[in-house]
Amino acid sequence: KSEIRALREKEEAEQKQREIEERRKREAEELAKRHKELASQPPALPAVREEDDIFVVEFGETELHRQAAVKNANLLELLRDNYHSIASRNADGKTPRDVALDAGFQENVEQIDSYCILLLQNGNTKAINDLVLCGYTEIINQLKTIEDSDEDTNEFINVDIPQLLVMNNYCKY
Question: Residues 38-65: pLDDT tens digits?
Answer: 767 665 545 444 444 444 445 668 889 8
Amino acid identity at 167: M
The SS3 of residue 167 is helix
Sequence spans of domains, the chain: 1-42, 43-167
**Could you give the CA distance from residue 64 to residue 140 in angstroms, rounded to a whole number?**
20
Q: φ and ψ at 112, to 5 degrees?
A: -65, -45
In the chain, the largest separation of any two C-alpha atoms, in whole Å, equals 78
**Could you give the CA distance from residue 10 to residue 13 in angstroms, rounded to a whole number?**
5
Give 56-65's long-range contacts (Cβ < 8 A, gap of 24+).
Answer: 58/91, 59/90, 59/91, 60/88, 60/89, 60/90, 60/91, 61/90, 61/91, 62/88, 62/90, 62/96, 64/88, 64/96, 65/90, 65/94, 65/96, 65/99
What residue ranges of the chain have pLDDT lower than 50?
45, 47-57, 171-173
What pLDDT is stored for residue 128 in this prediction? 83
Amino acid identity at 99: V
